[in-house]
Amino acid sequence: MELKSAAEIEAMREAGRVVARALAAVRAQAAVGVRLVELDQTARSVLAEAGATSPFLGYQPSFADLPFPAVICASVNDAALHGIPTRYKLADGDLLSVDCGATLHGWTGDAAISFTVGTPRPADVALIEAAEKALAAGIAAAVPGGRLGDISAAIGAVARAAGYGLHTDFGGHGVGHTMHESPSVPNDGKPGRGLKLAAGLVIAIEPWFMAGGRDSYRLDDDGWTLRSGDGSRAAHVEHTVAITADGPRILTAL
Ligand code: MG
Ligand code: MG
């Protein structure tokens, strides 16, 4: 686990800004009838114009049979994470989660947003708001002297209070020169436990909740797309955050 200097955090902020711009462009474009591959093309353009590369494209962790083929993950409805942008056309009322990363001058940012397309279902709006509330609570706990478990517990408490399902697989993680570094930041845990948080630690915090209230998930045959086990809708939001003496600093905000 590596602590970053103030100058390194500034450099990571520039990478994070590229991620924020890509996500904003995708969100602005997403509408009924737009294909997921078109959203990926938009994100590719934003990264290319910034001189950034994608830590997603070609990524192949041990669980995946195939390298990831895109620069965004586009997860629709019951898909929570790692959806491959296909030629699927967005339909009225879809819940879309988009995850994007960028590497600029050797530093990486990683963030995700969830939103509805067309006419929103109230239940989807509530699910997204809960995930965003959990992200904010996790970020608020990312302070020097705190513990990693404080972040995890803050996220888990929001999901449990709302009756949503969650899983500690595929949670947050350290971020630096590469996308996935130590420590891992699970989406549930006990306060006061785990690694002591220090200024200079940069982590991605990324709650993903499942509306049905069950904690299980399943993987598609494509080896990537992770869906809720009960078929209920899911939402995923993420920021890369630097822990500083002045408190948490969101590096992937616009
Ligand atoms: Mg991500
Ligand atoms: Mg991440």
Classify domain 6-250 at the CATH class level. Answer: alpha beta
Ligand 1 center to 174 CA (angstroms): 11
Ligand 1 center to 113 CA (angstroms): 9
CA of 100, nearest ligand number: 1
CA distances (Å), 99 to each of 22, 76, 96, 187, 197, in order?
10, 12, 10, 17, 25
Ligand 2 center to 246 CA (angstroms): 23
Tell whether the model's pLDDT for residue 138 goes beyond 90. yes
Cα 78–Cα 81–Cα 83 angle in degrees, nearest 5: 80
Looking at residue 144, its pLDDT comes to 98
Ligand 2 center to 172 CA (angstroms): 6
Peptide bond into 248 cis (omega under 30): no
Residues near ligand 1 ion, CB 5 Å cutoff: 99, 110, 112, 238
Looking at residue 224, its pLDDT comes to 96
**152-185 per-position pLDDT tens digit:** 999 999 999 999 999 999 999 999 999 999 999 9
Ligand 2 center to 111 CA (angstroms): 6
